[in-house]
A and B are shown apart, each in its own frame.
Chain A
């Protein structure tokens, strides 16, 4: 069993790549298998999408991991340290010596497996480079020529393949059978020893090889070889490569038979080439390859000799879209899965805050720091601290706006209520909206740049407290209201906390008015006189106020800005309207009485 939790980041990355590789190659094979009756180009596209997917997996997994680490913000816990906890913090228990367990052996085995994977892959890359160098060393003799091989014929065949010009054809003393060599400038290479083939057979051979070049098969084979090297341990990847080789040859065979050459003549030249190859090959081959080779060429020849052979048409637009879609889905799913696999364990930083100072647990001077603040902790054992984690990683503390209810507003409300019962609430709501509902405001501590307090309203907020059992719990919205109520009551402040929302943080705080005394209704014109600019303080900007349970901020009195006269005029209009409605009601009542 692999101990996932003990894996180092590199090992975890390798595990993600390995799992994705198996899934991608397995799905590509399954797709090609399900669509086995569909044209070969479609199956080829599906399998080749799998090859490209295999090559892209390391990058996609890295992308997913990077996205996961950037999108999931680190959490933060704030811990109140009680005096009882200090001895344990000052004298932590020595760490237990590591015990060789099954998990440890598992981790070592994983590391060895990873090293083996990388070593063999590197060897494979070296072998591939040697292969490229050897391919470059093929001796190219003079250009191949035949009396019928004219420029017109070359152009006609190139047009059939969609090429601008027919590739160069050379003879070589090296090659025993026709082949394509070269990556950047691929050429058709023919054996020097002349074959007794007719013109139609030669044309078929040239078309077969030129089709490889037109389809950019040399590059496809390089990508395929790299994918197999990277996932050398994955049988699905090898199987995919073999299927691609077979399909590639079958597709090019059909191009070869588009000319005047019939299938019997073509198979004849294939068999002759095989004979020639067997004759020149001096060294025996490994037994493991025998079956695949026999079945490969035999299957190909059997298909060519079938009377009702299904021609392998070029891939339709729908097929191309399907192949591209499969690749796109793989490209989206892999980083998504990688990010998801990273997601379950978001980092939670535990910070100890004592007396407004953050204690770094890794600090060498932690003992001295803790002792220095111990006395203050004793002085305020039940202190509660509120902290938020805004986007800019600044630390903000939560404060309460200390503002006493304005008696003039209450007076205004009472008068409106006397004119028309129920209208006081409307007046209060309007006042709250226009002239400054008392809200909890967030204001920055000195280390946070100015203006950060406004941002905090949209920040993720985590408010934690420690319960009597020492367990850290996150406050719910209702609990926060109760807590604020309690803390403000301790300070002889009378507020009511409504509409608490933690994300974004928004708390409406309303002053609790003293019990209203009944008064005789007064006229609206008198109310207007009581609403003078400057009486009501807006709290749209954060103000330095005392922190509940924490360090009180210096309470500086600021002159409130003047209230616009337009607000006062609007209020007067409201009162006048209410007064008019009251007059109308009274007159209607009088009319009804007279009618009776």
Chain B
């Protein structure tokens, strides 16, 4: 399965969320619109345009069958989340966003490697051992 192009905006993620909730059977544009309308006001045409765009970028696929056109997600939600996180991290740590967002690990965390994490774990273990010895 080809990887969908680009990332998702908040509005597109909302649509994808409704489609993931529908499962493999897919959902029509009207149903997507109704699902989102319960939370906030949105135009039906807006939903239609966004769905069309997502289909073109490979995030959605048509479910064959009779009746109104139904759409399903090409990626499972977990896989999509991994993709979104990787995309954000790439943008975040290689763009200027890193200078503007306070992350828990600090702004230099982009340079961490598996080796560094292992060393940090060792550091923590040593400190714990020392603490236990002192307490004993």
Contacts and interface: CB of A to CB of B under 8 A. Distances in A.
Given A173-B84, A174-B88, A212 B9 contact: no
Interface stretch (B22-30, B57-65, B66-74, B101-109): B101-109
B38 to A, nearest CB: 14
B9 A137 contact: yes
For the complex, would chain B's binding face be called helix, strand, loop or mixed by DSSP majority? helix
A132 B100 contact: yes
Interface string B92-119: 1111111111111111111111101101
A298 B128 contact: no
A100 to B, nearest CB: 42
A243 to B, nearest CB: 12
B104 A208 contact: yes
Nearest to A287: B111
Contact of A293 (B10, B81, B92, B111): B111
A221 B85 contact: no
A185 to B, nearest CB: 14
A218 B10 CA distance: 22
B124 interface: yes
A270 B105 contact: yes
B120 A176 contact: no
Contacts of A562: none
A173 B81 contact: yes
Query: Which among B97, B101, B131 has the greatest number of chain A C-beta atoms within 10 A?
Result: B101
B108 A293 contact: yes
B124 A205 contact: no
Nearest to A295: B108
A280 B109 contact: no
Contacts of B81: 173, 192-193
B100 A305 contact: no
A218 B85 CA distance: 22
Given A130-B95, A225-B99, A301-B120, A289 B108 contact: yes
Given A176-B85, A193-B81, A301-B123, A139 B128 contact: no
Contacts of A411: none
Interface string B1-42: 000000011100100000000000000000000000000000
A173 B124 CA distance: 29
A130 B96 contact: yes
Contacts of A124: 96
A188 to B, nearest CB: 10
B76 interface: no
User: Interface extent on B, as a size class?
Assistant: 35 or more
B121 interface: yes
Contacts of A518: none
A584 interface: no
Contact of A221 (B100, B108, B121): B100
B45 interface: no
Contacts of B104: 177-179, 205, 208-209, 270, 273
A264 B126 CA distance: 11
B97 to A, nearest CB: 4
A137 B13 CA distance: 11
A131 B96 contact: yes
B103 A177 contact: yes
A181 interface: yes
Nearest to A241: B99
Contacts of B103: 177-179
A140 B10 contact: yes
A280 B96 contact: no
A296 B117 contact: no
A54 to B, nearest CB: 15
B125 to A, nearest CB: 10
Given A131-B99, A294-B116, A285 B111 contact: yes
A217 B102 contact: yes
A336 B94 CA distance: 41
Interface string A276-295: 01101111010001111110
A297 interface: yes
Contacts of A224: 99
Contacts of A180: 101-102
A575 B120 CA distance: 107
A324 B18 CA distance: 53
Nearest to A189: B101
Given A139-B10, A280-B82, A305 B124 contact: yes
Interface stretch (A245-253, A394-402, A547-555): A245-253
Contact of A177 (B8, B97, B105): B105
Contact of B85 (A175, A228, A271): A175
Contact of B100 (A135, A205, A268): A135
A268 B124 contact: yes
Interface string A413-432: 00000000000000000000
Given A249-B106, A274-B116, A293-B112, A137 B10 contact: yes
A70 B124 CA distance: 64
Contacts of A249: 106
A273 B10 CA distance: 24
A205 B86 CA distance: 22
Contacts of B86: 280-282
Nearest to B86: A282
Contacts of A222: 100
Name the 6 nearest CB pairs between A and B, nearest first.
A293-B111, A131-B96, A293-B108, A305-B127, A174-B88, A225-B99
24 contacts: A130-B95, A131-B95, A131-B97, A134-B91, A137-B9, A138-B88, A141-B13, A174-B84, A180-B102, A205-B104, A225-B99, A246-B106, A252-B102, A264-B131, A267-B127, A274-B120, A275-B117, A277-B112, A278-B113, A282-B86, A290-B113, A294-B112, A297-B108, A297-B120
Given A264-B127, A271-B117, 15 more contacts: A127-B96, A128-B100, A131-B99, A135-B100, A176-B88, A209-B104, A221-B100, A224-B99, A264-B128, A267-B124, A271-B124, A274-B112, A282-B86, A294-B111, A307-B130
